Structure 1
């Protein structure tokens, strides 16, 4: 039925009927087409998670994974990471947490919501909230202010609940000490590596290669592929069509005058005498006296920059403690209050912050200044031209999208409208290589059926209308196509098996010998790692958790690990050499960080336990294919 409507929606009568249907859905409380059952991914205690919610969250996660894994990110890795379930579970958990926050009578006032949005840097110009920038960014995200504000309110509710959980969790000194002793213990081991690649004389027969393929053919499954055509509307291409006159500049200036107010700034140097946060009062006072002594030297005429280089604990001491120009709100309050009360050339008394004692010298005061319209004109023209070019690009995309209701073949539509149509080769979910955000493009394309046309999608700074031309599902290729790849895989497996067999035989040999025989005959085979801790990479071996865990289980009474351990480079045989207990004097130095890390872990455990309990009691239904 929807396809029939799409094909016939060119007339204003049909468009009016479509609009009427949307209005009825909204007033019935059903939402929109996006929140209809057909567009629903999950239902959580009656709350809908739409395809749109899911697709946007999935695209963000894919961009993160692309950044993390680079070219290694393929269909198999995505399947192993279970990305679809991860994204959906996060959306479900957020619904449950927001619901629980409301149940516990948390609330977000309209003023809290407004304040939180105004503080988001992306919506600011020179540190001040800019309504036009807010509207422009929401438009590029294809979100209405109402949708974004609902999401922000949900995030604030969850933040309040998380804060309550954080405040309810505590770490005792005994817990911190136990963690310190566990983490800071170190061990030194010896090892022999049986590396698969040294076995060069393995040459499997063709029938063995074929048999190996038959046993493991699923592992050679190709990734699904999509081929698409698309229109791209880039605002940059519309800049030449934009003309901004003086009247528009003046009007914008008057409406956004606060954006062109350069706030008062101070240029200063400082000397920091650091004080531990949990320092005794006597230590704090001794540090204050030290700071006072340095202040007196500065006031007596000693070069402040040289004093900073010699005495300051701040990392910026090498440039004489120079901080550059800063606004009042950019520094912690006691520091900024002192700095902004001084005139150029004046030096403060010692000022205490959470970092310690500061001596401040103001070098220059830049008073607040309102830019004139003439001074702001260039940046205003640039802003208005960018906004107008984006509007022109979007309007043309919208015009083509509306026309696609009458003509659902983008090629014919492009020819009739003289608009350039782009076509891709087949690509994976990572998207085609010539797009600024290929993963987002790929996500949109993979959610379309053959010949289906997307909505207007914002990808990077451009607008796209995408139509899928063809799809190739995952498939097991014919043996002949992957024969050499299979052969290489079989050789690697046989090499690995040989390394494992030899390593296990060596363990058995060591177990059958006395201690003196081990020293005389086997010691030259072993390499020493040197000391390492549980959370450190093993020297000359690397980050190998199983080997590290096994090493810390060994003792002088039971020095040999009685099984060969698989690592990235091959199989290891390890034996104990020496253990070092933690230096308890270091505990006082590390206690603060230890407490912080342990507290974070306990907070996360408490939050996860709450989520698990909420999920057990919740009524959750998930669309087939997303479980």
Structure 2
């Protein structure tokens, strides 16, 4: 969150200056511009690797479709259209790219056998404890994924998984540490106890031998006997006062504060801003690619694997095998049968090479280019070389691209426009509030008057916080007890309560730690003396 990040890193005039600079691009273009700029721009740069707008939009739409398939009727389109969800997804893409780069640099890889073993071990694809191909295909289809996509994602995930796991498993234990751990784990202890009456009666010594151990089962009756035999002890006022004075630190009140605060919440700034219809139409034209489902192609393939470091003779041999299979398919042999017999793609071979529906961006470029050059009249490709080996592709069906009309997309565009407008308005108000407070950091009145906000009050509460309102938020509590507020008497830095929701606090009254009156703690003192 913008304000929280600034508060965590900077203080004083430098923070105000940088915050004002950050406001400018948001005020003019809005947050959404970072997601809707030209296709050649990058939304993130991870080391030297760009995450482009197209990549982000394509990945986010795929994610949205998968979530819709998983959630069914519970899917809430509005939730997945929120800017915060898109930001979180971008953060996830950045983290994955970082892990991928580190894993590649470290030389980590996952073999086909390991990949197959992991997939077959997933409970979601099992029937009666056994991997089921039909369930595998159905589950992936419900998530909007092909087997090839899932296997590529799974392989990437396993590769990225290796790096933190290798680090975690690199810890060593000495023989002595292992022996000591085993000794402590298996350690057992036994004990015996005796009851020593706190206030023995005149006959207690005859009834109970203190030197004789007492079994735990007789403890309760013995204690009752002692209680009956013990005379009531009288405690004088002198004893009470002496204990109270000698142990005064036990009867101190907690340090507390009462605060004033201003709360700025985008949700409370007034009604939604209605844009001109031309503005929404212009957005639709600029972002039309978001609302279009691209042409998809139903395809199968046969893979003849070739290791990346294979000698040229092996590469040529594999190519010849792929050419022979392509010729047999063109001659009329059943492509699915050829794939089952010859394909080395463990994920699709048993399904006759079926890859499901493929959209642009799902496959490596060479494979995608070859697939989209095929036609219903010429559905079999020549052998295509990728990093996996040689492919023979069979085009089975073409699904034309489909798109939303302006009327269908209008509600989405309107919600995004209003969210951006609310955020801009909030940032403008927050910027102005900070400027006013900076001019006089000892009061909230000026900011409250200009921005039309109410100066509210909370407390008293201790360093452990309160139960209700802002006093229940530990960030607010920490700000209230900070040196800036408590010692200097100044208004706090903004405290982030959520998306576009901040609060600033000022000390109204400080209630320092103090000795409670004796009458207030008399019962506690008497109980302590009796013990």
What range describes the TM-score normalised by the shorter chain of this pair? Answer: 0.3 to 0.5
Q: Which has the higher contact order (CA 8 A, sep 6+)?
A: 1
TM-score by length of 1: 0.36
Larger Rg: 2
